[in-house]
Amino acid sequence: MGYHLYWLSGAPPVWRVMLALNLKKIRYTDTRFEIGSSDMADPSFRLINPRGQVPVLMTPDGPVRESLAILAYLDRVKPEPPLFGRGPTEAGVIWQWIMDYENHLRGAMVTLSTIVYNDEQDARAADLAVAMEVGCREMETILHRLRLMPWLGGNQVSAADIVFYPGVQWMRRSLQHLDPSPMHEMMQNPALRKWEQKIERLPKYKETVPPHWSADEPANVAALG
């Protein structure tokens, strides 16, 4: 049995997995769910993931759900290039940056994107202001790191970069619908742009870009794992 990915266009957790599969040069087939469809609620899919979320990677060992769990699985299946470092120090640094994003920046990113794509800028102005404030604070920490190091985890691409990059693109997309702000300025930082360009030179990068983005449709936030 090979690898089969269940995914939804535009979902940052899905994008992480696609980047990792391509970086590891692991071939896979896929099933794309349409935004707004009920396919993920279908009993046959619930047998694979009872939470009805994507991504799910079918593997020779069975289904693996949750994007970080999938990255960890892939790193054991094919250790090169390593996603979580070659030693304890590198692993600790990489996980620190992943958890910084998951625990501090991701919530603000989801709030920002949800407000923008639901056209709730006026109704949820206070929530938007808080999300922008948190986003700026967390981005400044990340920008400081990228001024010092070529990658978040150190001297080579790692799971930290793969986790963070899709979120940055989701924020960029959301900010297009908002008035200029300090966050807009931060997103033009040269260190950030240089780092993004390196990600965009990874193997088969273009194949991972959300195909629906040309239609400017949001992803279903509740369906992401």
Does residue 11 sit within a domain?
yes
Does some domain include residue 207?
A: no
Q: Are residues 47 and 98 in the same domain?
A: no
Provide DSSP, 184-201.
HHHTT-HHHHHHHHHHTT
The answer to whether position 103 is within a domain reads yes
* Residue 11's CATH number: 3.40.30.10
pTM over 0.85: yes
Residues 100 and 141 in one domain: yes
Assess whether 154 and 53 both reside in one domain: no
Do residue 65 and residue 96 come from a single domain? no
Domain tally, the chain: 2
72 with 162, same domain: the answer is no
Q: Supply the pLDDT for residue 218.
A: 47
Are 147 and 51 contained in the same domain?
Answer: no
Report the C-alpha gap between 15 and 167 in whole angstroms: 9
State whether residue 58 is helix, strand or coil.
strand
In terms of residue numbers, what domain contains 158?
88-202
End-to-end CA distance of the chain: 24
Residue 208: inside a domain: no
Among 54, 82, 110, the domain-final residue is: 82
How much is the pLDDT for 212? Answer: 77
Q: Judge whether 222 lies within some domain.
A: no
Residue 52 counted as domain residue: yes
pLDDT at residue 151, rounded to an integer = 98
Residues 62 and 8 occupy one common structural domain: yes
Q: How many alpha carbons fall within 13 Å on the CB side of residue 96?
A: 12
In this structure, what CATH number is given to the domain that contains residue 152? 1.20.1050.10
154 in a structural domain: yes
Q: Are 96 and 175 in a shared domain? A: yes
The reply to whether 195 and 92 lie within a common domain is: yes
Q: How confident is the prediction along the chain (225 residues), in pLDDT tens digits per residue?
A: 699 999 999 889 999 999 999 999 999 999 999 887 888 999 999 999 999 999 999 999 999 999 999 999 999 999 999 999 999 999 999 999 999 999 999 999 999 999 999 999 999 999 999 999 999 999 999 999 999 999 999 999 999 999 999 999 999 999 999 999 999 999 999 999 999 999 999 999 999 999 877 655 444 444 444
One domain, residues 139 and 183: yes
Distance between CA atoms of residues 7 and 11, nearest Å: 8
Pair (62, 128) in one structural domain: no
Q: Find the Cα–Cα–Cα–Cα dihedral 109, 114, 117, 121, rounded to 10°.
A: -90
d(CA 89, CA 83): 13
pLDDT for the residue numbered 215: 53
pLDDT for 213 equals 78
Please check whether residues 27 and 125 belong to one and the same domain.
no
- Residue 185 inside a domain? The answer is yes
Last-in-domain residue among 49, 82, 115: 82
